[in-house]
Amino acid sequence: MITQLHIKNFKIHKDTTLTLKNITFLCGQNGVGKSSIIQSLLLLRQSFQKNRLDKVLSLNKPLCYVGYGKDSLYQFAKNNEIIFELVDDKFPIDEFCYRFDVKGSGDKDFIPKIENKNIANKNEKKSHIENEETYKNFSLFNKNFQYISAARTADYVEDDYGVDIEKQISAEEGKAELTAHFLYKYQKEQVNDLFLHHSDKKNKKLLYQTILWQREISKGINIIPQKIGTGYKITYSFDTDASPKGVTSEFTAKNVGFGLSYALPIIVAILSAQKNALIIIENPEAHLVPYGQSKLMELVCLAAQSGVQIIIETHSDHIINGALVACKEQKIDKENIIIYQFNRDEKQHCAEITPINVLEGGRIIYPPQGFFDQISKDRKILMGF
């Protein structure tokens, strides 16, 4: 599990250090560096996927698009060096330090890597990061990783390598376009017991448990993954007394509401995750009513408590409150949750980040200004205060 992330001179991050826990929430106004935190991880992973991380940082595709070297450097940096440093509880503190020199790469889509200063002589001291076994056990680089962006889609595609070998739900930019293929292939796989809370726990297969959790959002729904020719699709039906068969006709994803198709890849990713997996989710609240957001967070918290690491960028207080309720109900320990409120230091035009720790009973005291306080401001206006 990644326990710390240090970023220097990347976009709006002049010098940022975050402690990461089982669930890490990134909150705050727009344009203050939340997405850049996620991009720092995605850039490392996509560079590794291209077998380039030992030489360069690849700025574009398939996971994210930053542009050119000049777009990646903090505008008021005192030098041209971008640093990403990760601390993992399984490895020594200096194993995952990446330094890149933007000088000369302002108009290029990659940034050359600077040799790790901790390695004095490559022939005598080889870093563990160059060891295949290290990568194999590190969540950011192995198959136990999923990225689900705010731009997820129900236009599903086929990708045998991505699903069969890499076990990914997304191929490009976290769109979750492989969800139908993934669910069809792995529908009979067993789900971790700790993810279950339903009274019917006899059937632990992925598809069945996915349906149960979707029914927490939309009652009586059924999910039907199908292989159509060389492609895959998902249709939905609903239990009903109005039909002699007990169910409605099948509907396409686009005809049952965006909330269901937006929640589906999140549910599938979590239910199929193994311990020590890393899942990054942007805006889990998208197209979901408050009740659905709260139930989705119940599943997220159960997974995180069992050892899955989840990073969430959110603009919804219902998502935060869902996690706090789960903490109150002892579905996750308070020590496994951390919340960050992002703001901008206008004098230096850099990210300013305040950690918010969760206390016993899911309480938060003395939250920083701007932390989901709009409802209080609106209430005062409406009540004439």
SS3 of 153-190: the string is CCCCCCCHHHHHHCCCCCCCCCCCCCHHHHHHHHCCCE
Determine, yes or no, domain membership for 82: yes
Closest CA to 247 of 256, 236, 258, 257: 236
Report the amino acid identity of residue 245.
K
Band of residue 118 on the pLDDT scale cut at 50, 70, 90: low
Are 223 and 105 in a shared domain?
A: no
Spell 58-81 as b/e; 16+ CB within 10 A means b.
Answer: bbeebbbebebbeebbbeebeebb
Closest CA to 225 of 210, 235, 215: 235
Are 5 and 100 in a shared domain?
A: yes
Q: Which of 33-47, 64-78, 104-118, 155-169 has the lowest mean pLDDT?
A: 104-118
Spell 106-133 as b/e; 16+ CB within 10 A means b.
Answer: eeebbbbbeebeeeeeeeeeebebeeee
Are 20 and 122 in a shared domain?
A: yes
Domain boundary among 224, 252, 272: 272
Determine, yes or no, domain membership for 377: no
Determine, yes or no, domain membership for 210: yes
Average pLDDT over residues 230-239: 94
Are 153 and 100 in a shared domain?
A: no
Going across the sheet that includes 110-114, the strands are 13-19, 2-10, 81-88, 96-101, 110-114, 56-58
Q: Are 384 and 46 in contact (CB under 8 A)?
A: no
pLDDT value at residue 135: 73
Are 25 and 111 in a shared domain?
A: yes
pLDDT value at residue 344: 94
> What's the domain range around 128?
1-142+343-357
Determine, yes or no, domain membership for 128: yes
Interval 344-376: pLDDT, tens: 999 999 999 999 989 999 999 888 888 877 788
Determine, yes or no, domain membership for 330: no
Are 47 and 88 in a shared domain?
A: yes
Band of residue 258 on the pLDDT scale cut at 50, 70, 90: confident
Determine, yes or no, domain membership for 382: no
pLDDT value at residue 291: 94
| Largest Cα span, the chain | 75
Average pLDDT over residues 240-269: 92
Q: How far is CA 283 from CA 26, 54, 151, 194, 329, in A?
A: 10, 32, 9, 24, 24
Average pLDDT over residues 257-284: 95
pLDDT value at residue 130: 53
Per-residue DSSP letters for 249-303?
--EEGGGS-HHHHHHHHHHHHHHTPPTT-EEEEE-TTTT--HHHHHHHHHHHHHH
- Mean per-residue pLDDT over the chain, rounded: 91
With residue 13 as reference, give the H or E element that holds it.
strand 13-19
Are 162 and 228 in a shared domain?
A: yes
Q: How far is CA 45 from CA 50, 96, 145, 237, in A?
A: 9, 12, 10, 37
Are 65 and 5 in a shared domain?
A: yes
Determine, yes or no, domain membership for 374: no
Are 8 and 96 in a shared domain?
A: yes
| The two three-digit tokens of residue 103, written as one number | 């000088």
Determine, yes or no, domain membership for 304: no
Interval 312-347: pLDDT, tens: 999 999 999 999 999 999 999 999 999 999 999 999
Are 172 and 52 in a shared domain?
A: no
Going by the DSSP 8-state scheme, the letter that residue 239 receives in this structure is B
Are 106 and 159 in a shared domain?
A: no
Band of residue 260 on the pLDDT scale cut at 50, 70, 90: very high
User: Cα(385)–Cα(377) distance, rounded to whole angstroms?
Assistant: 10
In three-state secondary structure terms, 221 is strand
Per-residue DSSP letters for 82-151?
EEEEEEETTS-TTTEEEEEE-TT-TTSSEEEEEPPTT-S-TTT---GGG-HHHHHT-TTTSSSEEEE-TT
Report the amino acid identity of residue 42.
L
User: Cα(51)–Cα(58) distance, rounded to whole angstroms?
Assistant: 10
| The two three-digit tokens of residue 83, written as one number | 């640093």
Domain boundary among 253, 272, 291: 272
Tally of structural domains, the chain: 2
User: 105: how many CB neighbours lie within 10 A of its CB?
Assistant: 21
Q: Are 10 and 346 in contact (CB under 8 A)?
A: no
Domain boundary among 254, 272, 290: 272
Report the amino acid identity of residue 86.
L
Are 94 and 168 in a shared domain?
A: no
User: Cα(11)–Cα(318) distance, rounded to whole angstroms?
Assistant: 29
